Amino acid sequence: MTPLAIDKVLTDPRLLGAGLGDIETWATWLAVLKAAFALPLTNEERKTFAAISGGRVLPLKRVRELWVIAGRRSGKSRQAAALACYSGLFVKYKLAAGERGMVLVLAATTEQAKVVFDYALAFLNSSPVLAKEIASTTRSEIRLRNGIVIAIHSNSFRSVRGRTLCAVIFDEISFWRDDTTATPDTEVYTAVLPSLITTAGMLVGISSPYRRAGLIHAKHKQYFGVASDDTLIVQGGTLTFNQTLAPEAIAAQQAADPTAARSEWEAEFRADLVGFLDDELIDAAVDRARPLELPPRPGVFYKAYVDASGGAVGGDSYTIGIAHREHNCYVLDVVRGRAGPFDPEELTREYATLCKEYRCSGVTGDKYAREWVASAWRKCSVVYTPAALTASETYLECLPLWTRAAVRIPDHPILLRELRLLERIPTRMGKDQVVHPRNTHDDYANVCCGALYGLANHLGAYADLLGKVTAWDDEGDYETDQEARDRAYRNQLAQRIFALSGGMCWPR
């Protein structure tokens, strides 16, 4: 189709305007898009732009990256779909003969991707002119007659490589999650940039904000209010982008949870959510030269911790961690896990065999299905002890070990991802809580910190015994049987402490 300016396409009722409806309700979005494409703005649009861009000047050319931080119900997914349709139909790209260009929209989840796909298809079908440009459709792609494909998928940095990308749109990037990496937003961003170079395509990120971390927060910190012709950042609350909502309804939400409302409705990054462990602390603990698992060694005391699971598909993983102390370091020797489906009884037997290899006659774990788990381990001749602390309390108790650089863990990708995603949240009672984000897990992180804390707490429990053993002279003559019995008792006690501490404590 003939190239047209984005404001013409969005406002024309014969084109994308047919799907948008009343264009007055999209005035803020229109001002943002006109500024991003370096189109002239009216005086009213200039005021709107100044309010949501940190007072920066208008770009002098079409920006290479546009990042929109908006509150909930701001029309973000519909605008992502409209931008995809515009980029696929009204922008010309230099493609080689036979080369198929792609406009790629990546969403937080498969369900969210389906929402954006339905919006995009509705935009095209609402216009008699644009409906004729559809060559075919699949479950996630709209193939246009001009050879461009509009593809809408959940985020994956692996699936975007090797494609010719004409434009890329990140929908709700603040909430992207991935089972293989803690930073899917950065991974995908790095993967798509080379594919956009040959087409000079635009990258657009649209999302509500979350915690002060991640790619969109980094972009906001670097470019908000900065006069850059390459990158434009805008930020505004729900009512700024969508004036059709009732202010009273949003005010009621704000009164119910003021902290969350500042993020959800006012589009401010949450100050109450921070990462539990800094990347520097985690990286310092990773021993990349060692194998994934260390074999058991004679004369070393090991501690095991498990996080049981019922084995259902899509549920938590059944994980185990085994650790020991070496000099002043706490070493995670083994971390294993299995996601469903699996037989929990069979996996318990497998883990019990593993524990016996490391001379662990007992394991500690959370209170999940308490009697079933204890019974399953008892059948394997291993004592199961419910943990005295919750997972959150265990994380907090372990924090000094991480800050002292006293932890050594393997380069296990799932474990590292879960540790990086842990969040620290202050509660109304004044005590922090450590949790994993929604739609993620902390099974590997839980057994890692559970084993480390159990080891440290176990050795600490024998500190009192150490205080009971006084110095003695091996060359002294004991004149009474009682003195001889006392000496033998002290020797036996010292040997017990030596064995329980893994060879680290011998009273002098």
- Residue 469 confidence (pLDDT): 41
| Closest residue by Cα to residue 270 from 201, 214, 196 | 214
Token couple for 321: 């961690």
Rounded distance, CA 451 to CA 343, Å? 24
Q: Is 41 left (phi over 0), alpha (psi -120 to 50) or beta?
A: beta
**Beta strand pairing call for 329-338 and 318-326:** antiparallel
Three-class SS of residue 224?
coil
Token couple for 124: 């095209």
Rounded distance, CA 255 to CA 169, Å? 33
Task: Report which secondary-structure segment, H or E, holds 384.
Answer: strand 383-386
CB 51 within 8 A of CB 236: yes
| Closest residue by Cα to residue 58 from 83, 35, 81, 82 | 35
Q: What are the beta bridge partners of residue 65?
A: 203, 231
Q: DSSP letter at 474?
A: T
Amino acid found at 168: V
- Residue 151 confidence (pLDDT): 92
CB 405 within 8 A of CB 285: yes
Domains of the chain: 6-264 (3.40.50.300), 279-461 (3.30.420.240), 464-500 (no CATH)
Rounded distance, CA 12 to CA 4, Å? 11
Query: Mind spelling out the 3-state secondary structure of 151-219?
Result: EEEECCCCCCCCCEEEEEEEECHHHCCCCCCCCHHHHHHHHHHHHHHCCCCEEEEEECCCECCCHHHHH
Rounded distance, CA 166 to CA 196, Å? 6
| Closest residue by Cα to residue 153 from 111, 106, 189, 116 | 106
Answering whether pTM is above 0.85, one says no
* Neighbouring C-beta atoms of residue 294, cutoff 10 Å: 19
Length of the chain: 508
CB 168 within 8 A of CB 204: yes
Per residue of the chain (508 residues), what is the pLDDT tens digit? 678 899 999 999 999 999 988 888 999 999 999 999 999 999 999 999 999 999 999 999 999 999 999 999 999 999 999 999 999 999 998 887 777 899 999 988 888 889 999 999 999 999 999 999 999 999 999 999 999 999 998 877 666 666 889 999 999 988 887 656 666 888 889 888 988 988 999 999 999 998 777 889 889 989 999 999 899 999 999 999 998 888 888 888 777 777 777 788 888 887 666 778 888 899 999 999 999 999 999 989 999 999 998 888 777 899 999 999 988 899 999 999 998 889 999 999 999 999 999 999 899 998 776 678 889 999 999 999 999 899 999 999 999 999 989 999 999 989 998 998 888 877 665 577 888 887 788 999 999 999 999 888 765 444 444 444 433 334 434 345 555 556 666 666 666 665 555 554 555 4
Rounded distance, CA 161 to CA 156, Å? 10
Residues 6+ apart with CB under 8 A from 3: 90, 91, 92
Q: What are the beta bridge partners of residue 423?
A: 275, 435
Sheet architecture: strand order including 383-386: 383-386, 362-365, 302-307, 318-326, 329-338, 407-408
Site of tokens 């991935």: 178
440 burial class (0-12, 13-18, 19+ CB within 10 angstroms)? middle
Helical spans, DSSP H, in 300-442: 344-357, 370-379, 391-403, 413-421
Rounded distance, CA 7 to CA 30, Å? 7
